[in-house]
Each structure stands twice: as C-alpha cells, then as structure tokens.
Amino acid sequence: MKKLLFLILFIVGLWVALMNFKGLATQGTYESIIVNFREDVSTTTLSEQIEAIATNYDKTLSLNSIYAIDEHIYTVSGDKQFIDNLKHSPLKKYVDYIEPNYIYNALESPNDPDYSKQWNLHNIHVERAWEETKGEGITVAVIDTGVSRVPDLRQTEFVAGYDFVNDRNDASDDNGHGTHVAGTIAQSTNNNYGVAGIAYQAKIMPLKVLSGQGGGSVSDIADAIRFAADNGADIINMSLGGGGESQVMKDAIDYAYDKGVVIIAAAGNSNQNAASYPARYPKVISVSALDATGKKAGYSNYGAGVDISAPGGSESGKILQETIDPTTGEAVFSGFQGTSMAAPHVAGVAALVKASGIKKPDEILAVLTQSSRKVEDDTFNYYGAGQLDAGEAVKLALKGQITFRDFFRWLRDSGYLNPRFWIDGGMVALLPKLLMVLGSYLLAFLLRNYFPFSFTSPFNWGLLLGSSGLFFLQGIYIFDLPQWPFRVMGSSIPELANSVQGTASLNPFLASVLVPFVLIAILLGHRSWKWFAIGTSLGVAGCLTVHAIMSPAVWAMPSLDVSRAFLGFNAFCCVALACLASKRS
C-alpha cells in the first residue's frame, strides 16, 4: 500500500511539473493579436463583429494583408489580458482561434568583411553537384528582410514577390540579412565577379516579412508562406525564428507542404537543446550550424527537432556573400554567422535535388538525410541526420525515385548491414551495456553461493545503476525539456561524467571503487539499503570490467594499458568490497 501511495504521488508530482513547465511554445513576445474568423462567417456578421470590437474596446481590427482575405485573418493590437477578454466574449462563436501575433527575428551575428574564402561551399562538396545540375527551373522563396539586386545577383533570375511589412510589391531589403541569405542560395556564378551561390540557376522569390530592424510577426510570415505556395515556389527558406507556438503559422506550413513545397528553417542561435519556431514544426526541415572545422557552432541550437546540419560560420570563419550595408544601402561583401546562414545551404541543395527529379517534400528530405555525412557518437543530436553533402545528395537524387535497391545500397554503404552497427553502433552501445548488466548479475550469483541473500529491489537497482544505468533514455529528446536528466538516468555511475560532458574518457574518480566504498560506508548499517550499496559495487565491477576490455580510455592516464590496469584493479576492489560487506551482513 505504501509503495502504491508513493507511485501515485510521483505521477501526480510529475504531471504538475510538466503542466507548469513553460517551454518555448509560450515564451514569444508580441504586440498584436491574430483573430482568425471561420470561413463560413458571412460578410455582414464579420462587419458586425469588427464594429463591436471597435465599440467595446476602442481597437481597430484590420485585415492582415490582401492575401489573408480568403483565410479571414485579422490583426489587432493587444496583450495577454486582451486575448483573454476576446476569448470570453461573444466573438468566440465566430472564430477558429485567437492567438498572439508573435515577433520572430532574423538569426544572425555581426559582420566580418575581411573574410574572403567560401570554405562553406567546399565543405558541402558543391562542385560535385554542379557537374549534374545548377538548380535550373526551381524557384526558392526567401522569406526574410527582403532581397536587393546587388551586383552579384544581377544575373540571378527573380520572380515576383511581395513586401508584407509595408504591403507593397517591392520587396527590397533594408537590412542586409535577406540578401545575404539569397546569395548563398543563388548568387550569380561564373560571372567573373564576387562569390558563388549553390543553386545559381534557380529563381529567387523575395518575400519581405522582417523590418529593417530584423523583426516581424507570424501573421506576415504565414501570409508569405501561403503566397509562396500559391505562386509557384518549390522551396521556402526561413532564416528566422523565435518563441511562441502559432496555429496560423502551423496552418500555413501545412498548406504549403500539402502543395508540395519543401520548407526549411534555421534551428536558432541560443545554444539550447531544441529548435526554435518555425523550425521545430514537423513539416519543416530544421537546420543546425557548423563552424569551419565541421563542428557544431557554439551558438547553434541542437537536440529536439534538428534534422540536419550545414555550414553556418563562426568568428574564425564566416559565410561570405554580397549584400547591402543597411546604413547606406550600398552593396558590400560581408561575412555573417548563424543558423540563418546554415538554412540557405540546405535550401540551395534542396533546389539541386528537386531539379534532379525528386519532387515530393518527404522524398527530398529523405535524400538530404540519407546522403548526409554521418557523425558518430552524436549523443546530444548536434547534427541531426548528419552534415549536408550536396555532391552525395545530387548523386542519390539522380537515381530517380528511391527504390528498394537504392535503399539497400545506402544501407550497405552506410554500414547498416554490418551486424556490429546494430549491436554496438549508433547513439547507444547496446552490446557493452548488455555485457555490463549480465556481468554484474553473474558476479551476484557467484557471491550468492558463498553468502546467501535475496535479490531484493534495492539490490537489483544497485546492480543496474552501477553497471549500465537506464541507457535507453540517453537518446530521448523532448522539446524545451532539459536533456541532462535523461543523460544522467541513462548512465551508469562510472559513465556519469561521460554523458553529462559528452566525453569519451572515463572519469578516474567515478570509474573506481571510490563511489561503492562511500555508499557501503554510509548504508552498511541499514537493513535494506545496504544491499543497494552491495549491488552497486558489483554493478560498477561489471561496468569497469567491460570497459577494461572494450574501451579502456580513462582521463589523465598516460596510455591505454595503464587505463586497462587501473580499471581492472578497481573492478577487483569492487568485488572484494562487496564480498566483505556481504560477509558482515
């Protein structure tokens, strides 16, 4: 009965904690509100409700843009209290939803005009892709601060766009961010001037949703997504993001995706363990950033929601394109860094893939992820499926629709047909973990022959936590929730520092007899929990034995032989300690 009560209290406490956890979905900032009227509401009723809001609240409800007419999407200035008032007013009968009009911002870092080499294009092997295609016939919508026709974009073909910030057809850039992004996708190439773009024969559709200061509302971004889908865009790039889950944004993304548009967005620059919005929506390809060495950029978000990684730059190597100086409006070559710079790399390669014959968004995502360069031991999901590779993506795409033979070949080339991959590869080393658990139980059965005892719950938990931990939890990523609890629970005691710090070498203090000794010293006088300490000692012995055989690296040890001897000696000490404690018991 007592155990049942504790279980109920634990579940209730966990539920309360999760219900009160405020993730990124509700952390956005906003100054206005979106009111989405039902499509079956008559024009007369619509006018009456708009007039009622003006009379009762002294606020003007405005159509978001001319492209929001069919969707009945209106905006009005207001805060959280005003949202609550509207949701409890008669207006609620006529709307699908009322939500904050969150502000998303351009994801960028300061410029470095002295950086002059496009290491990023070599990194993704774009030259190999250019042997087959340059993106001809594909239209990429750049939803950003607008795009200006700087000299190195004059040979790039543009299609009609729109400025949703100022409600006009001219979508010129007054910030520089959008022009830089467009340059990575399709900067004019082979023109004896400036730098190159990835899919330089593709068309650019400029859609301005961010102001000169870099901020914009989700209602404008959603309208731009629908505009792109309705006007022939094949790819959408959104190098922007922020906090706040939005139904109007999700609806627009679903609408574009259902029309066959590939949607790509930056994961965010907060070095957090989840992608920001809109990258985290399921139908959006979320891109984290790499630095010039191929490692995760220090600012890049990672973990939940990240699908793939691409060059985003760092202080030691930025992404160079021609853009505008926002203070003068003049063209200038500048180096930027951010996941904003990583996303257009994926958009450009997606254009190359689509030009090669792959049409559906899910198939294009499959090509991008299957062709990416895999990263071993990516326990924090820094890289998603891997690092973008344009050459391999186009090569895979040119095989046509992915057949079973292609898939089988990919499995073979990736090593997935090698039994070792399924046994001890990937995020969780399954075979060593099983050996650790089995080894600890084997030691327990041997010990039981000399000192009879029962396999109680504390003893079993000690064996498990000392040998392997709940290792299957290490690969779990949940939006907004911190990942370290899963890594801690998924680690054995000797491997605890490895999981938290992401290192390969064992910590010599944890990977020793020290922790079992302390536990036994503290718990030996307790009738039940002393068996937890004894089980932990045997579990640690099993873990150290397997590491001594398979992966003996220990921090600060001069060689693997010394590490192996250290682990073996401490494993023996753990068994001896368990024997002494059992004998005394």
**What are 240-266's pLDDT values in tens digits?**
999 888 999 999 999 999 999 999 999
Tell whether 227 and 83 lie within a shared domain: no
Answer yes or no: is 110 within a domain. Answer: no
Answer yes or no: is 248 within a domain. Answer: yes
Task: State pLDDT tens for residues 440-463.
Answer: 888 888 888 887 878 889 999 999
Tell whether 209 and 145 lie within a shared domain: yes
Strands (E), 72-120: 73-77, 95-106
Q: Considering its fold, how many domains does the chain have in total?
A: 4
Answer yes or no: is 255 within a domain. Answer: yes
Whether 180 is catalytic is no
Residue 537: which residues within 8 A CB-CB, separation 6 or more?
A: 462, 466, 513, 516, 519, 520, 574, 575, 577, 578, 581
Task: State pLDDT tens for residues 176-211.
Answer: 999 999 999 999 998 888 899 999 999 999 999 999
Q: Which residue has the tokens 């007592």?
A: 2
Q: What is the CATH number of the domain that holds 96?
A: 3.30.70.80
Q: Does the structure show a pLDDT above 90 at 28?
A: no
Whether 125 is catalytic is no
Answer yes or no: is 108 within a domain. Answer: no
Answer yes or no: is 573 within a domain. Answer: yes
CA distance 440 to 545: 10
Whether 340 is catalytic is yes
Closest CA to 177 of 343, 308, 315: 343
Task: State pLDDT tens for residues 373-414.
Answer: 999 888 889 999 999 999 999 999 987 444 455 555 555 555
Q: Does the structure show a pLDDT above 50 at 59?
A: yes
DSSP 8-state symbol, 360 = S
Q: Does the structure show a pLDDT above 60 at 416?
A: no
Q: Is 584 strand, coil or helix?
A: helix
Structure tokens at 501: 């710090």
Task: State pLDDT tens for residues 72-87.
Answer: 999 999 999 999 999 9
Using only the alpha carbons of the chain, give its radius of gyration: 29
Amino acid occupying residue 338: G
Provide the residue range defining the domain that includes 544: 457-583
The confidence score (pLDDT) of residue 421 equals: 42
Do residues 241 and 265 lie in contact, with contact meaning Cβ atoms separated by under 8 Å?
A: yes
Answer yes or no: is 339 within a domain. Answer: yes
Domain limit, last residue, from 450, 468, 488 = 450
The confidence score (pLDDT) of residue 104 equals: 83
Out of 141-150, 419-428, 539-548, 568-577, pick the least confident: 419-428
The confidence score (pLDDT) of residue 10 equals: 57
Out of 32, 72, 173, 177, pick the active-site residue: 177
Q: Does the structure show a pLDDT above 70 at 139?
A: yes
Question: 504: buried, middle or exposed (CB in 10 Å: 19+, 13-18, 0-12)?
Answer: exposed
Out of 340, 467, 537, 582, pick the active-site residue: 340
Structure tokens at 108: 């960028």
Q: Which helix (H) or strand (E) segment is 324 a member of?
A: strand 319-324
Tell whether 343 and 377 lie within a shared domain: yes
**Predicted confidence band of residue 113 (pLDDT cuts 50, 70, 90):** very low
CA distance 143 to 243: 18
Tell whether 300 and 363 lie within a shared domain: yes
The confidence score (pLDDT) of residue 404 equals: 52
Residue 148: which residues within 8 A CB-CB, separation 6 or more?
A: 172, 173, 179, 323, 324, 329, 331
Q: What is the mean pLDDT of the chain?
A: 87
Out of 112, 144, 174, 223, pick the active-site residue: 144
Do residues 218 and 101 lie in contact, with contact meaning Cβ atoms separated by under 8 Å?
A: yes
Q: Name the residue with higher pLDDT: 515 or 483.
A: 515
Closest CA to 221 of 207, 203, 206: 207
Ordered DSSP codes for 421-447: HHHH-SSS-HHHHHHHHHHHHHHHHHH
pTM for the whole structure: 0.75
Task: State pLDDT tens for residues 277-328.
Answer: 999 999 999 999 999 999 999 999 999 899 999 999 999 899 999 999 999 9
